Amino acid sequence: MSHQVDQISAFQKRLQFSVPSTEVDKKISEAFRVLSGRVNIPGFRRGKVPRKVLDQRYGRQIRSDVASDLINTEFRQAALDIEFLGQPEVDRSDLLDGADFNFSITVQVKPAVEVKDYTGIKVDFPVPTVTEDQVDLLVSRRLQGQSRLVEVEGDRVVARGDLALTEIVLIEDGTEKTIESGTMVNTAGDRYYTGAETLLIGLAKGESKTGTVTIAANAGMDSLRGRTVELKVTVLGIQVSQVPELTDAVATELGYEGGVEAMRSALRMEEEGRATEASRNVARVNLLQKLIGTHSFDVPPAMVDSHLQLLLEELRIQAAYRGRDPRSIRYSEAQMADLRQRASFAARASLLLEGVAKAEGIEITNEDLEAKYQEIADMRGQRVEAIRGYFAKDNAIGELQKRLLEERTLDWLLERAELVDVTGTDNDSAPAMEPFETETPAIEAAPAAEVAEEAPKAAKAKAAPKAKAPKAEAAAAEGAEVAAEAAPAKPKAKSKAKKTEE
């Protein structure tokens, strides 16, 4: 069999095939022979059914199956050295006895992108700053983590945010029925007694109040949910969350040897590290934007689709970590258009980074992979063997290598960029779009995900290993580095600084 390969565009190749009539006839005859030994047709012994009879009943299906088999076989052999993207498009003639079978297959491939002038790029680098107010906030958060519930003494009344030990009585038709005796109600907004807590504000210990309230539709009291009822509440006790004052002893207890000043100094250093990394993330995005802006080339639609699926999967995983059901996520047309634009950005960045890596001989070694496995294992508190197994099981080691290579190449470019300090720039990257959610979760099986065998559920998302997304993908997803869950996406088709101041 013969075939030829034609380059029809920067990212498309057409493979043209011609199967000789002798091979076609041989395949058709063999298919009919196998069929004859399998079917039962009245009046004929199995294996002795005349071909004419079989042709009348099954001829069309037989030829369709033979054509599909020939296409798959010949394409697999011819495409061994072609790294194609997405699903191939087939254009074929009819399969006829005694005639050559001609067909062509068009595939999308990565375009050859020549990257130029990629060192010494001027890149805005937001100056990382940490203020005393930020340190005060960090101290406050650490102290709040040490808060304790204490009983309120004296005549103090219930204030919003207190926890009130409460007796709740339902009044119906003049009859009182105690439904809770000694339950703790959060007056800031109680999930179980939503609505009842409004009566407690302003009451002192031992005081009661009767009033009409509407119990929220999502409250925990099943029998009263969504109803407007008359309740009588009595305060049996009041508790408040007490945050300790910052002292040398408290700072030492929190693990900061040296007291208050040591604690503030350590927290400042931690925040400076986060601020510096945030600035680098912004600089990475700025660098990619500059690089993309100076290179014009066409991107295969299949590559954009692949990156779009990665972005959608990332948002599903983030939703799962926030306790939301990923299956409930819905996007508007405008949101999908924005995500596709981000995917196009990520695809372009990926091609450019790949070009730089090839030109500069940047590689990822087995030692780099092992270091990443160990990093993920330490982060998730799992054994490195388990993390390595996750990636091997999902055939995602190659994709992980690709992501690490993009990350390393982007950092290589940043080290050789001309970083220009700028002030007054918000280091916070643009947040990922919030999807619409439906009240009724989807009951059909979720579509196949790119990072696992099935769509992620919240539990699966929490159990799977977590790896850092490539900087190009992160730039498209949120404009900065984001976390990517589990094994990287499997391909759908076979495919195999200098620093100055201004």
Q: What is the pLDDT of residues 181-214, one digit of tens each?
A: 888 988 887 777 777 788 999 999 999 999 988 8
Query: 481 and 380 in one domain?
Result: yes
Whole-angstrom distance, CA of residue 233 vs CA of residue 211: 9
Query: 234 and 284 in one domain?
Result: no
Check whether 153 has a pLDDT greater than 90: no
Q: What is the DSSP letter of 388?
A: H
Does a structural domain hold residue 185? yes
Q: Which amino acid is present at 422?
A: V
* Tokens at 385, concatenated: 């063997």
Report, as an integer, the average pLDDT of 331-343: 93
Structural domain count of the chain: 3
Does a structural domain hold residue 409? yes
Which residue matches tokens 């005060």?
Answer: 136
Query: 221 and 86 in one domain?
Result: no
Residues 38/44/47/48 CA torsion (nearest 10 deg): -150
Task: Give the domain extent around 26.
Answer: 2-109
Does a structural domain hold residue 140? no
Query: 390 and 442 in one domain?
Result: yes
User: pLDDT tens, 441-476?
Assistant: 322 222 222 222 222 222 233 233 333 344 444 444
Query: 406 and 287 in one domain?
Result: yes
Query: 309 and 221 in one domain?
Result: no
In whole angstroms, how far apart are CA 121 and each of 10, 138, 277, 294?
Answer: 27, 36, 19, 11
Collect all residues with Cβ–Cβ distance below 8 Å to 243 and sequence separation of at least 6: 140, 143, 144, 146, 147
Does a structural domain hold residue 260? no
Query: Which CATH number do you get for residue 55?
Result: 3.30.70.1050
Query: 291 and 418 in one domain?
Result: yes
User: pLDDT tens, 39-87?
Assistant: 888 888 877 888 888 888 999 999 999 999 999 998 988 888 888 898 9
Query: Which CATH number do you get for residue 156?
Result: 3.10.50.40
Query: 98 and 15 in one domain?
Result: yes
pLDDT at 440: 30
Are the C-beta atoms of residues 87 and 303 closer than 8 Å to each other? Answer: no
- The alpha carbon of residue 209 and the mean position of all alpha carbons in its chain are separated, in whole angstroms, by 50
Does a structural domain hold residue 253? no
Does a structural domain hold residue 115? no
Collect all residues with Cβ–Cβ distance below 8 Å to 222 and sequence separation of at least 6: none
Query: 312 and 227 in one domain?
Result: no
Which residue matches tokens 């990565």?
Answer: 110
- Residues in a beta bridge with 148: 242
> Reduced to 3 states, what is the DSSP secondary structure of residue 380?
helix
Query: 223 and 367 in one domain?
Result: no
Does a structural domain hold residue 114? no
With 0-12 / 13-18 / 19 or more C-beta atoms within 10 angstroms meaning exposed / middle / buried, residue 157 is middle
Query: 446 and 485 in one domain?
Result: yes
| Better-scored residue on pLDDT, 278 or 475 | 278
3-state helix, strand, coil in the chain (%, to 5): 40, 20, 35
Query: 163 and 81 in one domain?
Result: no
Query: Which CATH number do you get for residue 417?
Result: 1.10.3120.10
Does a structural domain hold residue 411? yes
